[in-house]
Amino acid sequence: MNVDDKFLLDVKNLRVDLPTERGLLHAVRGIDFQVRRGEMLCLVGESGCGKSMTSLALMGLLPRKAQRSADHIRFDGIDLLGLPEREMNALRGARMAMVFQEPMTSLNPSYTLGDQLCEALQAHRPSTSAQARERAVYLLERAGVPQAADRLRQYPHQLSGGLRQRVMIAMALMCGPDLIIADEPTTALDVTIQAQILRLIRELQREFGTAVVFITHDLGVVARIADRVAVMYAGEIVETAPVAELFARPSHPYTRGLLSCIPVRGKTLPGSRLQAIPGVVPSLIGPVSGCAFANRCGEAREACAQTPPQVELNSQHLVRCVAARPSHMYSEAA
């Protein structure tokens, strides 16, 4: 076992730039993160913060005109950066799989579920149709799809949104991947179905020991499902911490702002003014200097015009802010 085996996924200084009519859009601006085997990492942030671009960059599925660069993107010791397309194809779907937000559009409407599920396996593993069907039925059952065997003959339009997402999850698991990237997998679903799908993802992740990068904008979901959280703002990861630590000691002003602007039952007085974060997210077109949150931050100071340092509050809790202090210097009042 070599040192790299500590992390299944190790991303260093990932950047994604998109050319637009008005200039280069810096969608992801140099982010570092790691995912351990079997770990659930939540990437949380608002629209346009770069979380989806990050997931597409990892899977090598960025739009053609997008430019990806990084020091390295190591997946199980393999650097994905220089990997030939043929080898990337062999990994994608087999060892790293993806679940998208829209189960409507990510299933092919003109093939049966059985065809699509079996193809996911047979494209990567030598197996007979019977073996593929057996695995498909097994995984559909594990994903909570009733009458799994009969479903193989059905087409996507015959299923509800919740069922389609269960099928997508079963499909992602067909080859027994080490890593699943789930991009807002429950955002299009109703809340009661969302809870069921989240439970399913959590259960299967534990059962199969799959690492998951879970992308969401919903802090309620993050709180309930994550092992570790990375908060993204304007193309950067501004704070990383284990989930309990992040919610107990949010240390970036943006994280604190996000947490205090959601009304929480039993904590926020109904009808009281909510603490909104003033202003809007800055444009990421053209050069961005200093802290991107400074123009909305109540604690902004002169030093924020410089690139903020990465402060290590403890070995697990990193914050990109000049105002952050290591936790032993934090008073309870903070």
Which of 189, 192, 196 is CA-nearest to residue 216?
189
Task: Examine residue 334 and tell whether it contacts another protein (CB under 8 A).
Answer: no
Task: Examine residue 3 and tell whether it contacts another protein (CB under 8 A).
Answer: no
Decide if 255 contacts 238 (C-beta within 8 A).
Answer: yes
Is residue 149 helix, strand or coil? helix
Least CB distance to another protein at residue 199 (A): 5
Least CB distance to another protein at residue 314 (A): 17
Q: What gap in Å lies between CA 39 and CA 10, rounded to an integer? A: 13
Q: Pick one of 34, 106, 154, 268: the residue that binds another protein (CB under 8 A).
A: 268
Task: Examine residue 195 and tell whether it contacts another protein (CB under 8 A).
Answer: yes
Q: Pick one of 6, 108, 207, 264: the residue that binds another protein (CB under 8 A).
A: 264
Place of tokens 């290590």: 312
Residue window 109-138: x/- pattern of binding to another protein, with contact defined by CB under 8 A: ------------------------------
Decide if 228 contacts 41 (C-beta within 8 A).
Answer: yes
Task: Examine residue 196 and tell whether it contacts another protein (CB under 8 A).
Answer: yes
* Residues binding another protein: number (CB under 8 A): 51
CA torsion sign for 136, 42, 52, 7 is negative
Least CB distance to another protein at residue 211 (A): 18
**Cβ neighbours of 28 (radius 10 Å):** 28
**Distance between first and last Cα of the chain:** 42
Decide if 286 contacts 213 (C-beta within 8 A).
Answer: no
Least CB distance to another protein at residue 268 (A): 6
Residue window 228-247: x/- pattern of binding to another protein, with contact defined by CB under 8 A: ---------------xx-xx
Task: Examine residue 224 and tell whether it contacts another protein (CB under 8 A).
Answer: yes
Q: What gap in Å lies between CA 190 and CA 197, rounded to an integer? A: 10
Segment near another protein (CB under 8 A), from 99-107, 120-128, 169-177, 264-272? 264-272
Decide if 31 contacts 213 (C-beta within 8 A).
Answer: no
- What does the binding site for another protein look like in residue numbers (CB under 8 A)? 46-47, 144, 146, 160, 162-163, 190-196, 198-199, 202, 217-226, 243-244, 246-247, 257-259, 261-265, 268, 270-278, 280-281
